[in-house]
Amino acid sequence: MSKTFEILQIVPLAARAWAKLAAAACLALLAACGPSYPNCENDGHCKSKGEYCLDRKCVACRTTSHCPNAATDKCVECVAGGCVRREGCCTNNLDCPGGKKCSSGGCVAECTTNADCVDGKICGPAGSCVRPDASGCKADGDCGGGLQCKDGRCINRQTGTCELVNITFEFNEATLSREAQDAIGANAKCMADQTTKSVTIEGHCDERGTDAYNLELGNRRAKSVQKYLGQVARKLKARTVSYGKTKPLCTEGDDACWSRNRRAEFKPAK
> Does residue 205 sit within a domain?
yes
189-237 pLDDT, tens digit per residue, is 888 888 889 999 999 999 998 999 999 999 999 999 999 999 988 889 9
Domain that holds residue 56: 35-86
- Residue 216: what pLDDT? 95
pLDDT(250) > 50: yes
- Residue 224: what pLDDT? 95
> Does residue 157 sit within a domain?
no
Residues 6+ apart with CB under 8 A from 259: 168, 206
Contact by Cβ (8 Å): 64, 57: no
CATH of the domain at 243: 3.30.1330.60
Contact by Cβ (8 Å): 96, 107: yes
Residues 6+ apart with CB under 8 A from 105: 74, 75, 89, 90, 91
Least confident of 11-15, 97-101, 256-260: 11-15
> Does residue 93 sit within a domain?
no
> Does residue 138 sit within a domain?
no
Q: How many distinct structural domains can be found in the chain? A: 2
pLDDT(29) > 70: no
Residues in the chain: 270
Question: Do residues 71 and 173 share a domain?
Answer: no
Contact by Cβ (8 Å): 258, 252: no
> Does residue 98 sit within a domain?
no
> Final residue of a domain: which of 49, 70, 86?
86
- Share above pLDDT 90 across residues of the chain, in percent, rounded to a whole number: 35
Question: Do residues 171 and 74 share a domain?
Answer: no
